[in-house]
Amino acid sequence: MEAVEVHRRVLRGWSPERKTTMKAFEATQYYFDKAADILDVSPEIRQLLITPRREVRVEIPVEMDNGRLETLIGFRVQHNNYRGPMKGGLRYHHEVDLDEVRSLASLMTWKTAVVNLPYGGAKGGIKVSAQDLSRREKERITRKFVDQIHDIIGPRTDIPAPDMGTNADTMAWIRNQWEKYNGFDPAVITGKPVDQYGAEGREEATGRGVGILTFKMLQRLGRRPAETTVAIQGFGNVGSHAGKLLHESDFKIVAISDISGGYYDEQGIDIPLALRHTLRNGSLEGFEGAKKISNEALLALDVDVLIPAALGGVIHAENAGEIRADIIIEAANGPVHPGADEILQSRGTLILPDILANAGGVTVSYFEWVQNLQHYKWGLNRVRQELDSVLSRAFEDVWQTSTEKEVSLRTAAFMIAIQRVYRAAELAGF
């Protein structure tokens, strides 16, 4: 379905039943329109702000290691560039489709605006199971993809970054392939290896940002870390770094999980032990430091803070009634579906939205881009200090707007983002 038609359907309103079946882009637009209604944004301006500037779909023919020829489908959606070059990750996942990429590109527009970075939103993806690829296959696919999109990305137009299924090495391949067409310029991509013009602290950035903002939220509520129980659904890059920072800050993390299942200890999990286990074994499989439970059971634990840090849509209308946490920190993109969001908000659950909660990654990507443009390298301490400063300022903006306008933190974040993007669009003459 075309983006504009999706928006028209959102404007016509949704029944409670429809909210439970929204696809990713529809859900993003639902949240957008709740904020736009309060701001009294006209239908014409809404359509201007939500319509992607460009959507690219490419075929990627690639020879696999066994000699078989496969044709994969790749996407790059460039949503908005009123506030600056477009920015967004590139994911390799078997469920990637245009609707998902379009939704994530839109979220990046609002995310960068909330934390006040001079960027617009973009996103990319290739429909392939990253875990089934050899390193050589992944590199060939990456370079073939860049061959198709090298003329629409660049340090002043659209700057990709890692996402699900991609990493620093993937970014190095993209940079190298792009430079074959355009010449040396490491600012074309972020999330690169540190020894290849990458930024120190980029790998930890999203998870560290989640930890920083969780701490800020608890401070605002007058709660002490040592008296706060936390469950983290998803112990990958984001969840593990968030868990590490929260553990060091004396939070009691009672549950963690990954694809192998959940692990629970009401006395608190030894997070350094869990990190060492995953480093040795590649996952939590076989971890003996806690009782095994299901991922579904983890979501329903009686904890103070729940951090969904895996896939989107894990909290929905069907299981929202089972959620007992008072606070949800959206470390993943879109983990709370609109149907569940309304149920939880009505119960007084505080939800820190993804467009703020997981903005640490794009913030440090911005720092990397700045360093590349300046040909000057920062140290890790400066990166961490600047990250804390940017996220703290954004949190206070959102908290103040939420309090003054008597709206949810999610709606407050969207209101701030919409106003900033609209202002830039207005000055650009639309």
For helices 43-50 and 24-39, the axis angle rounded to 10 degrees is 140
By the 8 A CB rule, do 198 and 188 touch?
no
Angle between helices 409-427 and 98-114 (to 10 degrees): 90
Dihedral sign computed on CA atoms, order 96, 97, 101, 103? negative
**Rounded-to-integer distance, Cα 26 and Cα 12, Å:** 12
Strands of 238-321 (E only): list them. Answer: 252-258, 261-264, 291-293, 305-308
Each residue of 393-418: b (16+ CB within 10 Å) or e? Answer: ebbebbbebbeeeebbbbbbbbbbbb
Residues 137/148, Cβ–Cβ less than 8 Å: no
Rg for the chain, CA atoms, rounded = 21
Residues with Cβ within 8 Å of 297's Cβ and at least 6 positions away in sequence, in order, are 262, 264
Q: What are 225's two structure tokens? A: 């870390």
Which one of 34, 87, 123, 252 is the catalytic residue? 123
34 is catalytic: no
CA 293, CA 257: separation in Å to the nearest integer? 9
Active site residues: 123
